[in-house]
Chain A
Amino acid sequence: MEDENNNKKTKRNSHFPGMFRGFAAPVTLALFAVPMVLLAGLIAMGFWAADRHREAEELRAVNENVCREAYTELAGSVRELNAELSKLVLSEAPSTLALSLDGVWRESGAITALLGRIPSAHAENAALNRLIVQTGDYCRSLSSSVLGGKPLTENDRKQILSLVDASEKICTELENRLAGGNIPLTALDAERFYAEPAGENAEYPKLDYNGPYSDSAENRQALGVSGDELSEDEVKTKAKELVALALGDEGAAEQITAQSLARVEAGYPRYDLALVLPDGRTADIALAAQGGQLVYFRLYGARETAPAEQDLGTLKTKGLEFLRALGYEHAEPTYHSTYDGSVVVSCCCTQGLGHALADGEEEPSVIMMNDAVRLRFDTATGDIIGADASKCLMNHTERSFADVTAAEQAQANLSPYLSVSSSRLALIPMDDFSEKLCWEFRGSFMENEYLVYMDATTGEEVRIVRIISDENGTSEA
């Protein structure tokens, strides 16, 4: 019997290599299978890792090529910019000047886009970006002057010369890097990209001009802020009164509580406040520290009330009353947009021209597009739940106007394709932060509405705006 058992064991163990002899069969199986499974897993992982590595390499190559292309195009565009700038120095004829100025503006846009495609940190290329954008902006403003018959001044030529010099240095640096292969190898390593020697403090020419991107644009004074400096208590009281006024319940001011107040030194000093209404709703409001004019306010939450039809005309009338209470005596609604249960109406201040256009006629009114206040209404309750007067505070002041031509004279210069429906005087903002008094002609062409602005003094065309109207409101394009 014992021999028979020994024979069975021998037969069973004979299926496995010698090293497993002496173990019970299941243990022997496990000792054999586990390493095999691990080995198979390891091999599979190896293949998987190799596949991932190949994919990563392909991705890296794509990234590198995109960056190399951007870098190469960047160098080319800066060289083109440099060429156009140098032509400007030599050019005297308005037609060639205008072409080169346009060329600089176009290359400036291309370079800015390319700078965004190379993965350098903002701090590294901010000054370069600024120089390029301002160069394009400056040349665009010069282009308007040249087309208006004004030649380049000596100061303009000097500034352009300094730009030729700066752009020459930049493109030489870029080209040297390209020639030496010293360009990025990976999009993930920002350090290997073109970095300005002095980062954001790099020394580049300062351009003296007025335009949307000029230094002067960032240092403008708020013309609408005036009055005595308010104490914190006065600010709190005024803020509560303004919110109560917006809600049409001036008696509620005393029940409103100020949750926080902070003075902010940005441009002109302001106070930011958070208020809590008796019904638990909250509001953010900001007032100018000097004079206490409303900068903005926004009420959150909804008043629980039965819905009522809110006619847009009624809301506009209510808004104009609110503006009068804020001190903007004369204003007119312009655009509006409806979203999220509210309607935002833009209102612009108006001012008399100062004289009649003809004997016996009334003094016409001028709408001042820069003096805009946006009002937000709850469409369910009709409450004024927001206001933004920040743009108006920057521009609002008493203007004096020169003599203007009759509307008919300006209208004679309009395109015959425009079918005019109305006209009025409007003071519109220009790119250099000046304002131009224009005749605004509203009309239609091919089922679209347009506003065409003609210089009220010379009768020349200044700007064309297309009105976009849909079920949500009106805006301009």
Chain B
Amino acid sequence: MNKRKKTVIALIIAASIAVCAFLAGTAFADTLRRGSTGQLVRELQTRLKRWGYYTGAVDGVFGAGTEKAVRLFQKKNGLTVDGIVGAKTAAALGMSIGSSPAGSSGAGASSGSLSLLARLVHGEARGEPYKGKVAVAAVVLNRVKSASFPNTVAGVIYQSGAFDAVSDGQINLSPDQESINAARDAMNGWDPTYGCLYYYNPRTATSRWMLSRPVILTIGNHAFC
């Protein structure tokens, strides 16, 4: 076999491995199991530890200890004992692990408005403190209650030029659990902005109209007015 043929075969094998890995990742995206890693595993371990099922380190690695704790949790809660965190176990844990496409209802996001609000929060305030996420959701709801804005959540969010996350498409990303919780807290009445209708990032904002408004308070990177 000449060198060129070997190179071609190696490339085909590498591409096949990459495709298989991608497909495997897609197939298991909705479950947490032994070998899984990351923030969701960390959240899982935190919850299991807090309820006394897990005694190991919260390191974001789904190892034997985590699997044992999941099995114990499943047994105690009448779930199928397989050591895998699927939709039912996640729901019992109060977690959302689904990679459902934006717009479909995930765990805990039952209404359309909540889902849309959570996606806006995720797109606009990812990386902000929790209070800052609730504040962004509260601004949307304050606008709904204001005569100067559309009177629906969708109307406010999709108002022309109102939010960068809508303009650049980040609103279509699936929200994480924290964004869903923040949207729900705001819908439950928590308004850390005390009625503010606008916010902007002072480091990036260029609108003279926006910058001219008096700032009421600052949370994280956002000035609220």
A300 at the interface (CB under 8 A from B): yes
Residue B184 CB within 8 A of the other chain = yes
Taking CB atoms, residues of chain B closer than 8 Å to A266 are 193-196, 216-217
A212 at the interface (CB under 8 A from B): yes
CB pair A129 B181 closer than 8 Å: no
Mask for A206-222, Cβ within 8 A of B = 1, else 0? 00000011100010000
- A109's nearest neighbour on chain B, judged by CB, is B151
Is the pair A134, B147 in contact by a Cβ cutoff of 8 Å?
yes
User: B89-108, CB under 8 A of A: which get 1 and which 0?
Assistant: 00001100000000000001
Across the interface, do A122 and B51 meet the contact criterion of CB distance under 8 Å? no
Whether B161 pairs with A129 at a CB distance below 8 angstroms is no
Residues from chain B with Cβ under 8 Å of A440 in the complex: none
What residues of A have a CB within 8 angstroms of the CB of B185 in the complex? 298
Q: For chain B residues 150-164, which have a beta carbon within 8 Å of chain A? A: 150-151, 155, 158-162
Contact (A374, B148) CB under 8 Å given A121-B160, A339-B108, A340-B94: no
Cα A296 to Cα B135 with chains together (Å): 13
Q: A133-B147, A212-B145, A340-B181 are in contact. Are A123 and B47 (CB under 8 A)?
A: no
Beta-carbon contact of B189 and A391 below 8 Å: yes
Chain B residue at minimal CB-CB distance from A121: B161
Give the residues from 179 to 225 in chain A that come closer than 8 angstroms, CB to CB, to chain B. 190, 200, 212-214, 218
Contact yes or no, A190 B160, CB < 8 A: yes
* Contact between A307 and B52, CB atoms less than 8 A apart: yes
Nearest to B109 among chain A residues (CB) is A339
Q: Is A380 within 8 A of B51, CB to CB? A: yes
Given contacts A137-B147, A262-B217, contact A190 B161 (CB under 8 A): yes
Check B130–A112 contact: CB distance below 8 A.
Answer: no
CA A424 to CA B162, docked complex, whole Å: 45
- Interface check A302, CB cutoff 8 A: yes
Shortest beta-carbon distance, B136 to chain A, in Å?
Answer: 15
User: Assuming A113-B150, A302-B50, is B194 touching A122 (CB within 8 A)?
Assistant: no
A175 at the interface (CB under 8 A from B): no
| Given A129-B150, A134-B147, A391-B189: A116 and B50 interface contact (C-beta under 8 Å) | no
Which residues of A are found within 8 Å of B47, using beta-carbon distances?
302, 341
The answer, yes or no, to whether A143 is at the interface (CB within 8 Å) is no
Quote the shortest CB–CB distance from B79 to chain A (angstroms): 15
Which residues, 185 to 214 on B, are CB-close (under 8 Å) to A?
185, 188-196, 209
- Is there contact, CB below 8 Å, between B189 and A388? yes
**A302–B43 CA distance with the chains assembled, in angstroms:** 11
- Whether B148 lies near A305 (C-beta < 8 A) is no
For residue A158, CB closer than 8 A to chain B, the reply is no
- The reply to whether A112 and B151 form a contact with Cβ atoms under 8 Å apart is yes
Which B-chain residue is minimally distant from A339 (CB atoms)?
B108
- State the CA gap A286–B155 with chains docked (Å): 31
Residue of B nearest to A284 (CB): B131
- Report the Cα distance A267→B191, complex, angstroms: 13
Tell me the bound Cα distance from A122 to B147 in angstroms: 12
B131 and A380 contacting across the interface, CB-CB below 8 Å: no
A304 touches B190 (CB 8 A): no
14 example contacts (A-B, Cβ-Cβ < 8 A) are as follows: A115-B150, A119-B160, A133-B151, A137-B147, A190-B161, A213-B146, A213-B151, A284-B131, A307-B53, A340-B108, A340-B177, A374-B188, A390-B189, A390-B194
Which 9 residue pairs are nearest across A and B when measured between Cβ atoms?
Answer: A266-B194, A119-B160, A213-B147, A307-B51, A302-B50, A133-B147, A341-B94, A126-B148, A306-B52
